[in-house]
Amino acid sequence: GEAISWHLQEILNSKKMIEDKPVERVVFNEITKNAVLHAMKTPRQINSELVEAYLARRALDHLIGFSISPILWRKLPGSKSAGRVQSVALKLICEREIEIEKFNIEEYWSITSIFSKNDKQQFTAKLSVLDNNKLAKMDLKNEKEANSALEKIRNSSFNITKISTKRVKRNPLPPFTTSTLQQEASNKLSFGASRTMRIAQKLYEGINIGSETTGLITYMRTDGVQLSTQAIDELRNEITNLHGKEYIPQTPRVYKSKAANAQEAHEAIRPTAISRHPESMSSYLDDEQFKLYELIWKRTISSQMQSAELDETSADISNKDKTIVFRANGSQVRFPGFFIYRDRNDDKILPNLVENENVDLEKADGEQHFTQPPPRYTDASLIKKMEELGIGRPSTYASILQVLVNRNYVEKDRGKHIPQERGRILTAFLNNFFGQYIEYDFTA
């Protein structure tokens, strides 16, 4: 935006059209009536540092794009280009593939038991101490060791030696930015980044909702997690109307961006009117639009809700001389807060346990596991990684991932990015001859 203003001013100056006129720039960070009116009242001069940052970034793009790409055409026929951010995304995918190829798979075992109380209520627990030693993940290396442990367990009698319960709070997540929306839509709805952006674009541009065509969400290319004060007031009123006063915190929640170089030019992605509930919009939206709108609506409303309160309980179940100890964990929701809008209910509830109470071992089983190599990147995990490294901008993630596939550098298989031979050769070539340009911190 700063760059566009500067270009316009340069052109108008060169045509001598604004010599005697005062020229100022108006900036607003959210597309709402109040924000636009306030911005008009408080204009400012063009910020030369922001313009220079843009020029520097453009110069780098040109130096890298125009200098390295022609070398690729000569040396690696069929390689189309080496974009500044695209090359780094490809490097991440190729490095992950090398990690997977080098990975050594190891076997390990875990032991889970089912205990029952006198009143026949059952609960499960995991083995945590064996022969007085705290068990690490890889300590039981094979079936023989697991069977030897199971024999000791089956020959023991158990009672509850320690119970601890603590009240914990779970806080809601901030509203969506471009990257967190793409990650969540990938994880929950199995939408790729491009598909998510295509649907979001339509929700932003406008949907015919009977009486009018109106945008249902705010601008969807943003790295800011902040919301306008007007939106927060609307949210707090809506939460109070729907669920009551105890569901809103005393003061509104304020979120700060974790990304070190976030520009925060726009507020977070939110419904333009929180009163438009997903159910009431469903007749105007197709299936994909409804799912994405519902995701955004729930995340936005929960971001301003009271924390959930849980009682987390852990119990130790030991044999007589405490050389074998099992650990059972469970939690109970005491106040749901924003959990009302959580999709899954994965709370494991323990029966009422009493210290020193004897319990019967109903069943003890060993389970074989193998260590897993790091997973290949999905759209969600790659975007998350790029954002952590401070690489790329909200508007570029989807198109960069698409370019890698279009140029046959990467193939997507069931949502996973697999580097192709051409992509791997390209990364090796760039690493060898132009390593500094595809360093993560240089690109960031």
Catalytic residue numbers read 219
Residue 336 has, within 13 A of its CA and on its CB side, a CA count of 10
Q: Where do the H-state alpha helices sit in 284-362?
A: 287-303
Q: Which residue has the tokens 């925060």?
A: 264
- Burial class, 3, CB count within 10 angstroms (exposed 0-12 / middle 13-18 / buried 19+): middle
Query: Given CA atoms 80, 86, 87, 93 in this order, what sign does their dihedral have?
Result: negative
Q: Are 271 and 203 in contact (CB under 8 A)?
A: no
Distance CA 399, CA 422 (A): 19
Q: How far is it between the farthest Cα atoms of the chain?
A: 96
Distance CA 138, CA 149 (A): 14
Q: Are 216 and 272 in contact (CB under 8 A)?
A: yes
Task: Count Cβ neighbours within 10 Å for each residue of 188-207 and write b for 16 or more, e otherwise.
Answer: eeebbbbbbbebbebbbeeb
Region class of 78: left (phi > 0), else alpha (psi between -120 and 50), else beta: left
Q: Are 410 and 417 in contact (CB under 8 A)?
A: yes
